[in-house]
Copies of this chain bind each other. A is one copy, B any other.
């Protein structure tokens, strides 16, 4: 196995040799990792880490001082959790002197989404933060070489990347248990659009642990108006006394629908949401919810990314920040929509 001389930067040939792949394969990987097999991808990532290899584009960009920008990849930036996370990223990045660049991931996926990813990587950012509240990770992460500093917020766990999760499963479990304890036979769930909804999983597990049968979860879009129709339907079903919505905006739409069906909140039906949207506390009645610390997650992601960038800039071996995994817990916030009155 060839070794590089102590102190000299490893070349693409060195990495290819250690990974036991050809140089053209290495080139393909650096352009788009998804173009090589899963097995080779893993071998190359390991070799990159072992040799502390960084390819020319980043070195050039650093030399030109043109890459001092943190790239944020996110789907629809209008959604509440994203604007809050992005705010935390901006604030922290500004504090440490990095401007932020947003690349909007096209939710149509496929080539549309890859276009945004390529456009981002072509400009050699100092690092990438992926906001993964839409579970787009699997299709995006595989296109980002292991040489690029990166932090993922949300999404399923990627062991070989730095990541921050928001404990949605635990929070949903806690909320469901709390609603059951308010003496309800079961809790109906209106889900956020997501292929793998950790909130739904937490709700289901809490019901299962309490030996309560789970009613079929009701799917809806991000559009709160659609939730109005769902709320009206639930309001016409006398067996429905407790509703847990996948986010606050959906909970608000559901409450409007309940009102249209002649039901009072919390007297006839209790409702809880998720996120602690700015407007949740002024809703009529104010909404019980899970406070998610989106801005804190954003700030923390920048700190983790900064450590990775520093490793690159100072030509140090990759530290623990490259695969760090942190969780930021949510908090149950009780308000009048679940009948609790506070002094």
Measured CB to CB, the residues of A under 8 A from B are 66, 69, 76-78, 83-84, 86-87, 90-91, 94, 97, 99-104, 106, 116, 119-120, 123, 224-225, 227-228, 249, 252-253, 255-256, 259, 278-279, 281-284, 286
CB-CB under 8 A from A228, the residues of chain B are: 282
Q: Does the CB pair B279–A279 fall under 8 Å?
A: yes
Chain A binding surface SS class: helix
Minimum distance in angstroms from A256 CB to a CB of chain B: 5
Per a CB cutoff under 8 Å, which of B66, B120, B123, B256 touches A283? B256
Q: Does the CB pair A101–B101 fall under 8 Å?
A: yes
Given contacts A90-B102, A94-B104, A104-B90, contact A252 B282 (CB under 8 A): yes
Per a CB cutoff under 8 Å, which of B106, B119, B259, B278 touches A224? B278
Complex Cα distance A281/B249, Å?
Answer: 12
Q: Does the CB pair A77–B86 fall under 8 Å?
A: yes
Q: Does the CB pair B78–A87 fall under 8 Å?
A: yes
Q: Does the CB pair B279–A249 fall under 8 Å?
A: yes
Per a CB cutoff under 8 Å, which of B90, B97, B119, B282 touches A253? B282
Complex Cα distance A298/B337, Å?
Answer: 37
CB-CB under 8 A from A69, the residues of chain B are: 101, 123
Q: Please give the count of copies of this chain that the complex contains.
A: 2
Given contacts A99-B101, A119-B99, contact A281 B78 (CB under 8 A): no
Q: Does the CB pair B94–A87 fall under 8 Å?
A: no
Per a CB cutoff under 8 Å, which of B83, B123, B259 touches A77? B83
CB-CB under 8 A from A102, the residues of chain B are: 90, 99-102
Given contacts A84-B78, A101-B101, contact A282 B225 (CB under 8 A): yes
Q: Does the CB pair A259–B284 fall under 8 Å?
A: yes
Given contacts A101-B69, A102-B90, contact A252 B279 (CB under 8 A): yes
CB-CB under 8 A from A224, the residues of chain B are: 278-279, 281-282
Q: Does the CB pair B90–A77 fall under 8 Å?
A: yes
Minimum distance in angstroms from A19 CB to a CB of chain B: 31
CB-CB under 8 A from A84, the residues of chain B are: 78
Of all chain B residues, which has the CB nearest A76?
A: B87
A–B Cβ pairs within 8 angstroms, 17 of them: A66-B66, A69-B123, A91-B104, A97-B119, A99-B101, A99-B102, A99-B103, A99-B123, A101-B101, A102-B102, A227-B282, A249-B278, A249-B279, A252-B282, A252-B283, A256-B286, A259-B284
CB-CB under 8 A from A77, the residues of chain B are: 83, 86-87, 90
CB-CB under 8 A from A281, the residues of chain B are: 224-225
Minimum distance in angstroms from A69 CB to a CB of chain B: 7
Complex Cα distance A294/B80, Å?
Answer: 17
CB-CB under 8 A from A225, the residues of chain B are: 281-282
Complex Cα distance A66/B100, Å?
Answer: 16
CB-CB under 8 A from A66, the residues of chain B are: 66, 123
Known A66-B123, A77-B90, A253-B282; 6 more pairs at CB < 8 Å: A76-B87, A100-B102, A101-B101, A224-B281, A225-B281, A252-B282
